[in-house]
Amino acid sequence: MIGVPQQLEQPAEALTIGVGARPLRLARKCQVADSTSRWHTFEAMITDNDLSPPYRTRPLRRAEYHQLVEMGVFVDERIELLAGELVEMSPQGAAHAEVIGRLNEILVLAFSGYARVQVQTPVAATEESEPEPDFAIIAKGDYSQALPEHAYLVIEVAVSSLRKDAGIKSRIYAAAAIPAYWVVDVSSRQVLVHTDPRDGCYQSITTLQESETLTLAQFPHIAIAIAALLPTA
């Protein structure tokens, strides 16, 4: 009869599997010593279909995510919580950084005295999502005790992340009832303008070209020329 498992003295083979969008390393073989010090090897029967229906994975909640962050689990990792999954954030290249710099200058001046410009910091969008948009225009106030749960506008700059920004993030921001969401498609030199969030989706998505101007219904005095935020062609 196998007794209480003791500390492993021999290395176990490892197997990397995906849980959510972030891979975790699990042992392929577990070796456990019984009361007579004899080793028993258990094969971890992990297959590609282990997490497929009829089995269901439970999304990670924001409160649980914060507990893991406080424990130092994700030190030096650039991740964000999207729909209950840990998703790696794309590294910034020169083009992305250039647009961020241009937008920062434009937005700070445009919204000065009206709202706060938050740059690449979290938004408490839903119970299972805490994205870190490139920009969030939020109400003025003190957020030292809790992350903002609402924004007038969020902006994502897409160089290699267009699929994610126009897909899952669009649905997350719509579910959070954020009235306007802009995706700056740097490669195509255009902006996807999402408005009218209802039933978890934006009901209106308009593509504006480089020669056009961005406006915001809640701040009608603000107009931003798309050409001004894009890198030199």
> In this structure, what DSSP letter does residue 135 have?
E
Per the CB < 8 A criterion, the answer to whether 68 and 74 are in contact is: yes
Give residue-wise pLDDT tens across range 54-74.
Answer: 667 789 999 999 999 999 998
| pLDDT given for residue 38 in this prediction | 53
Q: Do residues 57 and 74 make contact, with C-beta atoms less than 8 angstroms apart?
A: no
Give the class (CATH, top level) of 94-229.
Answer: alpha beta
One-letter amino acid for residue 53 of the chain: P
How far is it, in rounded angstroms, from Cα 222 to Cα 123? 23
> Among 201, 180, 199, which residue's Cα sits nearest to residue 191?
180
Alpha helices in 137-176 (DSSP H): 162-166, 168-175
pLDDT, residue 119, reads: 97
User: What does the domain layout of the chain look like in residue ranges?
Assistant: 1-56, 94-229
**For residue 208, what pLDDT band results from cuts at 50, 70 and 90?**
very high
- pLDDT at residue 42 in the model: 45
Provide the 3-class DSSP secondary structure of residue 63. helix
d(CA 219, CA 233): 30
81-129 confidence digits (pLDDT tens): 999 999 999 888 999 999 999 999 999 999 999 999 999 999 999 999 9
pLDDT (0 to 100) of residue 85: 93
pLDDT class of 47 with cuts at 50, 70, 90: very low
Do residues 154 and 184 touch, judged by C-beta distance below 8 A?
no
- Say how far apart CA 120 and CA 133 lie, in whole Å: 5
Instruction: Please state whether the peptide bond connecting residue 131 to the residue before it is cis, i.e. omega within 30 degrees of 0.
Output: no
**pLDDT in the model for residue 147:** 96
Count of CB atoms situated within 10 Å of the CB of 154: 26
- Closest to 166 measured CA to CA, from 177, 178, 158: 158
Banded model confidence at residue 76, pLDDT cuts 50, 70, 90: confident
Distant-in-sequence, close-in-space partners of 170: CB < 8 Å, separation ≥ 6: 181, 183, 194, 201, 202
Tens-digit pLDDT profile for residues 128-139: 999 999 999 999
